[in-house]
Structure 1
Amino acid sequence: MGLETVIKDIMGAAQTEANMVNADADAEVSQILDDVRQTAKKIMGDRLAKAEDDIKRLRQQEISSANLEVKRTMLNARKEVLDKVYDNAIETIASLPETKQEELLKAIIDENDSNGSKIYSNKDSEELVKKLSSLEYTGNIDCIGGLIIENDNGTVRLDYTYDIIMKNVNEQSLKQTSDILFG
């Protein structure tokens, strides 16, 4: 009987110890699971926040890109309008009545005749320029109108072609013209 009591006591103590080990293991597993859940929540929250930040950044990039494209389209449209205005001005000057052509050429010649010895014009204005100027007529140039006056050795060349005058006026007044047309 004494041996059975000792065996029971050993078995009871072993069972109690096993229960304590199981309880500790369950507590440890529960703690590990809680830690994993907390880490998973943190990772999920961080990734969600990063995803939201990425979405905001992408949205802002798309908005900026769209705004840039709108500005580019508007600038291209404005440039087209300004080019058409320039082309219309060139056509208007090219189709000036002969009396106006004569007035313009006479004004240019009167002011600059003494600055050169040779004169050039387009084919259409040749006879008129020969009539208005005392300078040696030396040939035709490709332009919509106007003239070029040159000194004897060709080192000084005054370009009063309407093409150059229009180009210079256009460059100098482009902003003002744009403001008038587009506000």
Structure 2
Amino acid sequence: MYLVLLFQEVKMGLEEVKKEIIENAEKKAEGIVKEGKDEADRIIKETDAQLEDYRKRSEDDAHKIISAMERKERSSAEFDVKKMKLDKKKEIIDRAFSEVKKKLQSMPDKKRESYLKNLLDDAKKEIDVAKVYVNSQDRKIAERITGKGISVDGSEISGGLVAENSDSTISVDYSYDELLDTVEKENLQEIASKLFGKD
């Protein structure tokens, strides 16, 4: 009987040890589960914070990109408008010079003769004129005003004259084309200001 009691006591002791081990294991398991859950919650919170930060940065980047694109488009549009204005102004100036050239070409003979005489006198101040080139319309006038010692030849110029020395090494271009080009280059800003005002 003593053995039975001892066995029961040992059995009771084993049950208590077993129970204590199970309780400890359950507590440890609960602790591990709680730690795991806490760790998972922490990771989820960190991930959510990182995602929110990434979303904000992405939105900021998107806004910056959109703003940069808008600025670029606005700048490009402003450039296009300025270019169109300049092109239009250039077209108007070219048209004005074209009209002046037409008026010079359609002047009455008396006036053309006066202009050619003045241009020839200016050329004589610069070189010893031996030959003069004029357009076909002005040839007879040029032959009349040049006198002896100066030959007259035809040229594809719109009007005015080109004068050369005897060995053709020096020439003076007083053609209307050259004179108008010079006037345009030297006075473009003043002409633009008179035509369009100051921008």
TM-score > 0.5, shorter chain as reference: yes
> 1:154 Cα deviation (Å)?
0.9
CA RMSD of aligned residues (A): 1.6
> 1:58 Cα deviation (Å)?
0.9
> 1:136 Cα deviation (Å)?
2.6
Cα distance in 2, alignment partners of residues 32 and 113 from structure 1: 98
> 1:113 Cα deviation (Å)?
4.1
User: Can you list the C-alpha shifts for 1:6-31, whole angstroms capped at 9, x where unaligned?
Assistant: 22222222111111111111111111
Match of 2:78 in 1: 67
- After superposition, residues 23-102 of structure 1 pair within 5 angstroms as 23-102=34-113
Gaps of 5+ in 1: none
Cα distance in 2, alignment partners of residues 148 and 17 from structure 1: 113
Match of 2:135 in 1: 122
2:181 aligned with 1:167, yes or no?
yes
Aligned residues with identical type, % of pairs: 26
- Indicate the structure (1 or 2) with the bigger Cα radius of gyration: 2
1:6–1:120 distance in 2 versus 1, CA, 3 Å: closer
Bigger drift between 9-18 and 50-59 goes to 9-18
1:80–1:111 distance in 2 versus 1, CA, 3 Å: closer
Cα distance in 2, alignment partners of residues 113 and 25 from structure 1: 108
- Which of 156, 163, 167 is the matching residue for 1:142? 156
TM-score in terms of structure 1 length: 0.92
- The answer on whether the counterparts of 1:113 and 1:133 sit within 8 Å (CA) in structure 2 is no
Gaps of 5+ in 2: 1-11
Alignment coverage as a number of residue pairs: 183
- The answer on whether the counterparts of 2:139 and 2:152 sit within 8 Å (CA) in structure 1 is no
Match of 1:181 in 2: 195
Cα distance in 2, alignment partners of residues 17 and 111 from structure 1: 116
> 1:149 Cα deviation (Å)?
2.0
2:23 aligned with 1:12, yes or no?
yes
Match of 2:3 in 1: none
TM-score in terms of structure 2 length: 0.85
Cα distance in 2, alignment partners of residues 6 and 109 from structure 1: 134
- The answer on whether the counterparts of 2:129 and 2:150 sit within 8 Å (CA) in structure 1 is no
**Which SS does the other structure have where 1:143 is aligned?**
coil
**Which SS does the other structure have where 1:152 is aligned?**
coil
